[in-house]
Structure 1
Amino acid sequence: MTSASQFVPHTLNMPIAIKLDDDNFLIWEKQVLATIRGLKLEKFVRGDAIPPRFATKENETAKTENLEAKTENLEYTNYVQQDQLLVAWLLASMSSPILTKMVGLKFAYQIWKRLEIYYAARTRAVIKKLKLQLRMIKKDKGINEYLLEIKKIVDSLVVVGSPVSDEDHIDAILDGLPDEFDGFVTSITIWLTERGPHVSSRMVLHQLLLAQEERFEKGKRSDTHLINANIVSGPNQWQNPNQGRGRSAFNTRAEFRGGRFHNRGGNWNNRGRFNAGRGNGRSNWNQTGQNNWNQNKPTCQICGKIGHIALNCYYRYNQEYQNHPQANNTQFQPSGYDISETTTLATPSTVQDPLWYPDSGASYHITHDESNLSMKSAYTGTDSVNIGNSTGLHISHVGHSYFHNPMSSKHFVRHNLLHVPSITKNLLSVSKFARDNRVFFEFWPDCCNVKTQDTKDMILQGHLKDDLYVFPQFQKVQIVYAHPVQKDSNHSLFQLWHSRLGHPSPRIVKLALKHCNIPSSHFPDSFLCDSCCMGKAHQLPFVQSTTEYKSPLELVFTDIWGPSPVPSSTGARYYIIFLDAYSRYSWIYLLNSKSQAFDAFVQFKTSAELQLGMKLKALQSDNAKEYIKFTKYLTEHGIKHRFSCPDTHEQNGSLERKHRHIVETGLTLLANASLPLHFLAEAFLTTTTLINYLPTPSLNNWSPHQTLFQTPPDYHFLKTFGCACYPLLRPYNNHKLEYKSHLCLLLVIVINIKVINAYLLLVNAMCLEMLNLTSLVFHTKKILTLF
């Protein structure tokens, strides 16, 4: 009785801040466990050390239904009392949907075990769903809302026990940005490669994204088409020699009233209205000097007159007609009048800025100064430059520009430079300049730097002007080039027929004219048509490379294939390939994700250099962001990193053909073995081994293996992919009476210089093991079908 008087159960009256539901188990668990551990009640949720119910065995086996007649163990009674208080406290902290899952459970440890089983399965599904959301999220709102949405997903992953690293967090932010941020993403990626991702980098990235978004918004709000009207004072009388009846007037809104002019003189009143006499009819003139009845009529692009289009123009086929362009903002001045009061328009030409402004939202370089174009041609298309206020600005010329900067001895190019006379500032497209010159931009609070991607040398430095980044005026490089002068009448006539017939080839033009009995023998056999260049441009064939490589590892090509729609048996969806330019020998490594590419490269470099006794000199890849991480490592080891031109897969033609060879042969092996795509990775590994052992005409009928190791390959060890075999399994048996072998399938042959191994698939146990080929008995004529 003394022990009973000393036992005081804990009532657990501490409230839980939140009730348990389907989404907050980890937070709820942290609060509950803190209380349980504080009261030293862990044994109740673990379910260990439960005392026996009855004090003696006689009481437990007594044949009576009256439980009170049996003597219960006092420790058990105290245990149950405390356990039920804990059960009541746990159930009180759960929501109704969770309570329904606890029906039929008596003790606390039973409740706790069911919660762990339920939320373990649910947590895996939630983690998979959240990671998919993190990969698929795209910026369709403001930067703050976009980053907050990513932060919510990251926090949710932390809650379910799968925290996201700073590197993956930053990658998710950059991957979801739209195309207009491409230049910004390239600069940030290089910066992060040097600095390393961590919390402070993410905070700096947040501020830089806000600044970049503000620049985009400012570009949309700014009105680059500035027109200011300035009144020039002068004499206030003008004469009209015409006679007639009517009335006309100029007011401050530039309205003109009058039809047939009959004026004896007039003057301006104090409200800016000019009374010019009387006349029949009335017409209102707007700011451009056009009357309202002509406002919606088209303007001819050939003669400049109103009322018809170029297709119906009388001067369309007149080769000698020269149009005199008229300004868009033309003052109305009737013939014979001496205008004493004029309005001067301050067009963008009066406020143009010679400096260059980097713009990440511009898709082309734009200039207002025609002299900035080193090579140019007149633009005859109908496109215009759209600015923030939806105004379309006329494009006068298109060309290229080369410039030199004192900070660098290299010349830089601005392709597709548009000459827009009405623009007020020279705009430098960040994305095009970075892509064309292989540079990246760094935007700091007080300056803007441009550096090369290879050596990170600074080539340009800008400063802030009116809260905008600006570069000084560039020193243009004069390019001397031949410009054909086409004045021959035969050439002009041929060009006319070439245009009429829809721009066919010169041979077709001559055939068509021959059928119409039009002399065409004096026409040229070839000529350059600007319209054909613009509309029929296609990729020119590449010249076959004549470079010869004298030793292995002098140049290695690399590329990543994937993702495969079906994962392999090990979960791999990608593979990275390394192709030696000298021997055409291939190495492939299976990858679960592209982020493993760098580790695979380090493994390849270490193995290849050690086995071949030579150093890797150069690596060629495309511009994928996975290879940007290689730059620092390659620079430290003195390895040259060569990049193929953007969108030019032909420069990696060897790898493209190798990918096709591996994939097609791998699918053929699977089809022959009647195996599903689940074993595609094993087929790729076997295919690569076989390709290295096969002779090729490009190596004078030697195999890549023989070229690299100077020894002919041994084909005696090769077996059919997917054939039946019986391996010696005695070392893997559990007892002496187990069978010493089972029927298996040969899946992968990995052949090195001396060691030959194979992956085997047990037909019955479906177990993937790696065994030595010397312990195998093959049934090469037997192909098994598992599925």
Structure 2
Amino acid sequence: MNQSPYNNSLSQPRFNNNGPNPPPAPKHYSTEHTDQRKHNSKSGIICQICGKTNHSAAVCRHRYDYFTPEEETQQALAAMNLQDENDPQLYVDSGATAHMVNSTGKLKKFIPYGGSDKIFVGNGQSLHISHIGDTTHGKLNLKDILVVPKLKKNLLSVSKLVDDINCSVEFNSLGFVVKSKENQVLAQGTRHGDLYGLNEGGNLAFQTIRRNSENQDLWHKRLGHPSPKILQVLRANGSISITDWTKNTSICVSCQLGKNCKLPFSLSNKISDFPLDKIHCDLWSPAPIASNQGFCYYVLFVDDCTRYCWLFPLKSKSDFFECFLKFQKQVENHMERKIKKFQSDGGGEFSSIIFQQHLQQSGIIKQTSCPYTPQQNGVAERKHRHIMETAITMLFESSLPLKYWVEAILTAYISLINCHK
């Protein structure tokens, strides 16, 4: 193996997993990282950890070296190295590629961040991004702000700022100023040591932790996710104090998940012009207990034009076809008209071969609702609900056992058609 003279710039003790006291560096050493350092020397980069050249932070030997103290002169991403984690100040950073804050309380609108990107800081550590949002600071509209909970300082990216609002940022020894193309002052900042902080003023989002507690989104969560109208009423009568009230509220993801429901079906105004032009049908099953006569089902037919209905108890589903033949002869004979359309769900009793053949021979058009969409057969479903609610109510009123459910639904059915007449 080739020998390489030891470089004095790497004379700091190397981390050793064998114990807390690393051995002194030898005068000559051989390692597999020699080729890696030669490769890095071609790039001429500067390490963000130790500040030395010819290698990056990813391969720096001081990355996990806890025995080498940090030099006090190192100021790489100085805003990240300060220890005051409760500082709400927004600091301008020319090295940051995006606006970053450590709390959603500083944003007016925000949503969870669904990407897998991470923020890499000066010590090589990667930080998780939890949300992304927008806010305003005086005349500045700050968009696509990344929320990094473990971030110690809130950072304002100079490059993103000038790209988003087409402005200029001028620095001096006392502070900085943000100007528009028309030379109008949009924001100002003051120098704090080696950092440039954006002056507060006109922006409630970045003022104090106490003000953050009066955030509109925070009150929305405290009160159990009410609607904006309820918050507006509570704010108007003085029950709560919201300092950043706005009608354009941010999207609450928890509300979207917890209150999500299917879109309602639009009301159908199409009603047949004549009786028997269309018959709605549905079979109710099974009963929790067989009746005294052995019935476990009942079938319901509803005329689309008149909404008149017919109800027949059944002992089994196989009795449906015979029941339909009797129903067809009865209504066609009494009304001297033919059934033209038959609407039902996709139940097996409606999709049997013998029933399908009979509809074709009779010239009846079969209409079937989509799977798991009872709303498309809503006329029959609504009649079911009316009859069953009335029947169960009468059973409770009379204190009769459930085995009399057939008598109850027939009584409810007779009451329904009498009211219909």
TM range (shorter): 0.3 to 0.5
Under a length normalisation based on structure 2, what TM-score does the superposition of the two structures give?
Answer: 0.45
Higher helix share: 1
Under a length normalisation based on structure 1, what TM-score does the superposition of the two structures give?
Answer: 0.27
